């Protein structure tokens, strides 16, 4: 028989932790010490749950690297004491934060499950209760005394995804997230069904390591018809810029005009890291498949393959913090480190 799992619930901010003041109709953060009062169903769970709330809850639009580090350090400081972690976070930037944490924790041996909601916990039609209860159940899943999930996951509307594969696709539907390039890790119905073949398998003989040195001198440049030389040159000439996520068309295609390739080539020779990802929410960059991407490959643009923009931003910041040579950087970026690319 498996022991009772100890779960640490970390509230960072977001809609899930709001409750409506029915007198004024205004949303306000509720006291997470009163969690059992607000969600009596948690008493039925077989797990032992502790809660920890950020003193000043953060709207996810205000998320930044310092906040990511704070969340990661909170988990790291409590890592030995708990079997799993559930992070409550605003949905708007959840994919970015969850992707960043997947890179921060090398050889993660316990589950870190991100969740949130589209409606506040006190709302009559809220999705918060189901998301929260199932996330706690998932974080507490054990088999032969070991956690079933050993990676950073994102649970929303009956599906658990690998966090660094997710993208927020809808601001209004309960099914707010999608993972088009990787199948769900688990699905919740009458029973909780785990897709064991899809799970990340850590080396349990190695210790979990935390990396918090991220370099956020990066930007995302999205291609669009009509983009011109002055704009691209101006953006890529930002002082101190170290890395760019270039969102191209389809399977990694961009203008084949000389001016475009000349600017990129000049910047790469000056040491700028440029990663090619697709604007599509599904599919992969295959540089060299079409004439419009051959030039990018030749000048040393890195292929993001089927990585999401959110994971590409996080991986770029993570690897820039390591101060690698351009050649090593390219090799490592094009390699799957936490299951973020195929």
Report the C-alpha gap between 107 and 115 in whole angstroms: 22
Quickly tell me which residue has 């000439």 as its tokens. Answer: 237
- 13 neighbors 60 (Cβ within 8 angstroms): yes
Q: In 3-state terms, what secondary structure has residue 46?
A: coil
Between CA 226 and CA 250, with CA 303 as vertex, the angle to 5 degrees is 45
Please state, in angstroms and rounded to a whole number, the distance separating the CA atoms of residues 288 and 296: 8
CA angle 186, 191, 197 (to 5 degrees): 30
Number of H helices, E strands in the chain: 9, 20
Q: Look up residue 244 and give its two tokens.
A: 């760019």
> What is the rounded CA–CA span in Å between residue 135 and residue 235?
41
- Does the annotation mark 335 as catalytic? no
CB atoms within 10 A of CB 114: 29
Nearest of 200, 198, 161, 195 to residue 178 by alpha carbon: 161
Q: Tokens representing 264? A: 């990129």
Which residue from 156, 132, 134, 148 is spatially nearest to 194, judged by alpha carbons?
148
Q: Which residues have a Cβ under 8 Å from the Cβ of 163 and sit 6 or more positions away?
A: 95, 98, 99, 101, 102, 114, 151, 152, 153, 154
> What is the rounded distance in angstroms from the CA atom of residue 293 to the CA atom of residue 77?
45
Q: Given the residues 15, 134, 167, 248, select the one marked as catalytic.
A: 15
DSSP state of 209: E
Active-site annotation, residues? 15
């Amino acid at each position: 028989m498996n022991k009772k799992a100890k779960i640490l619930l970390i509230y960072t901010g977001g809609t899930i932790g709001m409750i409506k003041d029915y007198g004024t109709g205004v949303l306000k953060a509720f006291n997470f010490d009163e969690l059992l009062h607000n969600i009596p169903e948690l008493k039925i769970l077989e797990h032992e749950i502790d809660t920890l709330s950020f003193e000043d809850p953060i709207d996810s639009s205000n998320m930044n690297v310092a906040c990511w580090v704070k969340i990661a350090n909170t988990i790291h400081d409590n890592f030995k004491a708990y079997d799993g972690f559930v992070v409550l976070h605003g949905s708007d930037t959840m994919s970015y934060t969850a992707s960043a944490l997947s890179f921060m924790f090398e050889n993660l041996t316990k589950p870190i499950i991100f969740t949130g909601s589209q409606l506040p916990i006190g709302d009559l039609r809220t999705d918060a209760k189901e998301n929260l209860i199932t996330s706690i159940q998932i974080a507490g899943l054990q088999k032969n005394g070991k956690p079933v999930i050993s990676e950073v996951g994102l649970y929303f509307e009956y599906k658990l995804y690998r966090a660094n594969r997710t993208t927020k696709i809808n601001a209004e539907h309960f099914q707010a997230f999608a993972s088009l390039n990787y199948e769900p890790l688990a699905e919740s119905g009458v029973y909780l069904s785990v897709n064991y073949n899809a799970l990340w398998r850590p080396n349990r003989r190695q210790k979990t390591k935390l990396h918090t040195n991220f370099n956020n001198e990066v930007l995302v440049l999205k291609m669009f018809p009509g983009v011109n030389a002055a704009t691209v040159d101006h953006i890529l000439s930002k002082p101190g810029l170290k890395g760019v996520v270039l969102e191209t068309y389809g399977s990694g295609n961009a203008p084949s005009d000389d001016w475009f390739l000349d600017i990129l080539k000049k910047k790469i020779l000056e040491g700028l890291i440029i990663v090619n990802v697709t604007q599509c929410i599904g599919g992969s960059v295959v540089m060299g498949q079409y004439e419009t991407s051959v030039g990018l490959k030749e000048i040393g643009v890195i292929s993001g393959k089927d990585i999401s923009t959110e994971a590409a931003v996080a991986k770029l910041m993570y690897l820039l913090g390591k101060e690698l040579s351009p050649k090593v950087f390219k090799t490592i970026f094009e390699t799957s480190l936490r299951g973020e690319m195929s």
